[in-house]
Amino acid sequence: MGVKKSDRREFLKRGAALAGSLVAARTAVGQTPDHTEHTPVAPGPDAFLRGSDEIVAYGKRSRFVTSVRIPHGGRASPDQFGLDFHIATPLQDSVGVITPSSLHYMGTTRGSFIPDIDPEKHRLMIHGMVDRPLVFTMAELKRLPSVTRMHFIECAGNRASSRHTTVQETHGMTSCAEWTGVLLSTLLKEAGVHANADWIVAEGVEEVKGASSIPMAKAMDDCLLCYGMNGEPVRPQQGFPLRLLVPGFEGIFNVKWLRRIKVVDQYYMTYNDFGHLTRDPVNAALGYQIGPKSVITHPSGGQQLPGPGFYEVSGLAWSGGGRVARVEVTTDGGRTWRDADIRGTAHPMAHTRFSFEWNWDGKECELQSRCIDELGQIQPSRAQALEFWSTPEEKATSVKGQDNSIQPWRIASDGSVHNAII
Amino acid sequence: MRLSSLLPLLLLFGAAAQAQSPTYGVGRTPTASEIAAWDISISPTGEELPPGSGTVDKGSELFLSKGCAGCHGTTGTGGLAPRLVKLDVAADADPWDYGRVLPIRSPYATTVWDFINRGMPLGAEGTLTPDEVYSLTAYLFFLNGLLPDGSTLDRESLPKMRMPNRDNWAQVPDWLPGKPRLEGYPY
C-alpha cells in the first residue's frame, strides 16, 4: 500500500468517510495467511478491526473468544418474566484466579429482577445496638479508608452430579474477584457497637429485601462493604452500588444491593436464614463456612486432548477456612498423589491457581485434585463424603449439605475428557 | 490496691473509650422516625412488631383480594409460587416431613410476619398494612392447622405462638476466625 507523502496529505484532508473505505479496501486485499500446518507462511491477522467509539470507550473481547455464562440448576435465566436465577461461570476457560466481572456467577433465592439503583440516591444505614446510628451516602463511604482484597464467593448449591458434563456445570457457581471497599469493622466501630451485641442483620433492596444474620465475630473480623470489583464499580448483578462480602461464608450471606445493617443481640431467623434451616447440627456446621475445595479446570469434562505428550494440568483451589496450603493431584484415580505447584499468591478465602506438569501416555486414566487449607482441613473424596452422610453411592445423585468433594475427570484413550462421577 | 497496679486498667479503659468514639466523623445521624421507617426486621422475640391485629377470617379474604391466591393457588398450593400449606402427611408425622413450607417449618411465627411484610405480595411489596399482615399470617397458620378458625393475632400473641419446630432445629456453631468449620470432622 505505497501511498506517497503528498498523496497522503491530500487523503487526510478528504476526511473520515474515505478513510473508512480505504481501511476496508486494505482489509479486502490484505493477504490472508494460510494457517494450515507445515505451510511456509508466517502467521498474521485474518483482518483488521476498524476503530469504533464503542471499542474506544469500553473495549471488547475478540470475536474468537466465545466463553459465556450459562443458566444453572435446570431453570431458565432469564425466565419468561425476565427474572434471573442461577448463572454459572465458564471455569473451563478460566486462566489465573480473577473471574472477569461479566463472567462472575450469580445466584438469587428464587429468581430476582436486578435492582436498577442510582448510586447518588443510595444510602446505607447502620442502627440497632449502637451508640450512634449512621447513614452514609456512597460518596461518604468512599471517603473512608479502603481495602482491596481477593475473595471467592460460592453458592451453597454448587454441587456436582453424574448428570453434569463440564466443570461449568459441576463447579460454575463460584467465582473470584478483587473487591474494594470499607471494612465493616470500620463502620461498626464508627457507630460504636454495644458490648452485648452478638449479631448483625444485613439487608438488600431487592423485592423480597433479602436479609441474613451474621455473627458479630465475623462482622468484626474481615467483612467488607464493597463498591469496587475488579477495578470498576460492582456490577448490578453483583449488588451495585454496594454489596457485603463475608469471606468464606456461603454465597447467600454476601448481601447485594446493601441498604441496612442492624446490630442486634440474637439470631434473627430471617427468611434467608430459614432457607438454610436444618435440624442436623453437623449439616448446619458444614453448611456455613465453605470447606476446602478444588477442581481441575484443564483438562476438564467436554475438552479434548489432541494426543499423548506434555500438558499442564491446571485448576483452582479455595477454602472458606483461610489460605490454600497445598494442592495434590493424582493422575491414576487416587492411588498416588503428588504436590501441585501454587501459581501466584495464595490469598485467604480466594481462588488459588495450581499447576501440575504431566506427560500423558495416551492410556485411559483419571485425574483428580485435592485441597488442604491452612487449618489442615482436607478436601474429602466423593466416596468419603457420601459415607459420612451415610448415602449409598449407587443412590447418590449429589452429596448432602455443602458439597466440597473431589471431582474426578476421566481421560479416554482418544483424548476426550469425561465427568467420572458415577 | 496501689495506684500503680490500677494504671494498666486505667489505660485499658482509656483505650476502650477512645475506640468507642467516632474516628472519622463521616456520615450523618438518622432521625428516630427515619430509623423506624427503614427498620423492617422482626426478631423472634417480636419487639419491633407494630400495634394492630388481624383475624383468620380477614386473612382468608385478603388472600384473594391481595392476589396471593393468583401466585400461590386458591388453597395455598397448586400455583406457580411456593406452596404455603404443609404436605399431606400423617397427623403424627415429624414436623420436618411437612415440607419446606415457611408458615409451618419456621421455628418462629415472627419470620412469617416479617417475610410477608417485607416481600409480599411480590410486585407490590410493602403495600400491606400491619393489620393486613397480621390477618394473612393468621390465615396461613390456620391453613396449616396451627390456629383454629376465628383466631386473632397481634404483637403480643404472635411471638408467643409455639411453632412445631420451635426447639427442633440446629443452631449454627459459634464462629471464630481460624477455626475449622466442624471440630472433629474427619476431612
| Total count of domains within chain B | 1
- Counting Cα atoms < 13 Å in the Cβ hemisphere of B3 gives 0
- Residue-wise pLDDT for A370-413, tens only, equals 999 999 999 999 999 888 888 777 677 788 888 999 999 999 99
Chain B residues with CB inside 8 Å of A288's CB?
172-173, 175, 181
- Residue-wise pLDDT for A217-276, tens only, equals 999 999 999 999 999 999 999 999 999 999 999 999 999 999 999 999 999 999 999 999
- What is the rounded distance in angstroms from the CA atom of residue A380 to the CA atom of residue A371? 9
- Residue-wise pLDDT for A162-198, tens only, equals 999 999 999 999 999 999 999 999 999 999 999 999 9
Give ∠ CA A371-A374-A380 in degrees, rounded to 5: 30
Model confidence at A55: pLDDT above 70: yes
Residue B6 lies in a domain: no
Helix (H, G, I), strand (E, B) or coil at A324: strand
Percentage of chain B modeled with pLDDT above 70: 89
Fold of A293-419: Immunoglobulin-like (2.60.40)
- Residue-wise pLDDT for A25-43, tens only, equals 333 344 444 555 677 889 8
Q: How far is A293 from chain B (nearest CA, A)?
A: 11
Whose cell is 383468620? That residue is B56
Q: Could you tell me the residue range of the domain that residue B152 belongs to?
A: 54-160
Residue B45 lies in a domain: no
Contact partners, residue A47, CB within 8 Å, separation at least 6:
A27, A30
Model confidence at B19: pLDDT above 70: no
Tell me the pTM.
Answer: 0.89
Residue B98 lies in a domain: yes
pLDDT average, residue stretch B61-73: 97
Give the range among A73-87, B41-55, B86-100 with minimum mean pLDDT.
Answer: A73-87
Residue B5 lies in a domain: no
Residue A420 CB burial class (10 angstroms; 0-12, 13-18, ≥19): middle
Q: Tell me what pLDDT residue A391 has.
A: 73
Q: Which of A49, A44, A3, A45 is nearest to A24 (CA)?
A: A49
pLDDT average, residue stretch B116-142: 96
Contact partners, residue A243, CB within 8 Å, separation at least 6:
A225, A226, A234, A254, A255, A256, A257, A258
Residue B168 lies in a domain: no
Q: Residue A314 — φ and ψ, nearest 5°? A: -130, 145
Chain A interface, best mutation among B21, B23, B26, by max A CB count within 10 A: B26
- What is the rounded distance in angstroms from the CA atom of residue B12 to the CA atom of residue B10? 5
Calculate the alpha carbon distances from B65 to A382, B69, B140, B153, B181 in Å.
Answer: 50, 8, 15, 20, 47
Nearest CB to A285; choose among B30, B115, B173: B173
Provide the terminal-to-terminal Cα distance of chain A, rounded to the nearest Å: 61
Q: For residue B29, what is the nearest residue in chain A, using CA coordinates?
A: A134
- What is the rounded distance in angstroms from the CA atom of residue A377 to the CA atom of residue A145? 33
Q: Do B26 and A267 touch (CB under 8 A)?
A: no
Q: Which CATH class is domain A101-287?
A: alpha beta
Chains A–B, number of C-beta pairs less than 8 Å apart:
168
Q: Do A217 and B118 touch (CB under 8 A)?
A: no
Nearest CB to B178; choose among A125, A268, A322: A322
Q: Tell me what pLDDT residue B20 has.
A: 65
Q: Tell me what pLDDT residue A21 has.
A: 42
Q: Which of B26, B21, B25, B51 is nearest to B36 (CA)?
A: B51
For A83-131, give the DSSP string.
Answer: -B--EE--GGG--SSPPPGGG--B--SS-BPPP---TTT-EEEEEESBS
Q: Do A271 and B111 touch (CB under 8 A)?
A: yes
Tell me the average pLDDT of chain A: 90
Residue B103 lies in a domain: yes
Q: How far is B55 from chain A (nearest CA, A)?
A: 23
Residue B138 sits in a domain whose CATH number is 1.10.760.10
Percentage of chain A modeled with pLDDT above 70: 90
Q: Domain map of chain A by residue range?
A: 101-287, 293-419
- What is the rounded distance in angstroms from the CA atom of residue A414 to the CA atom of residue A416? 6
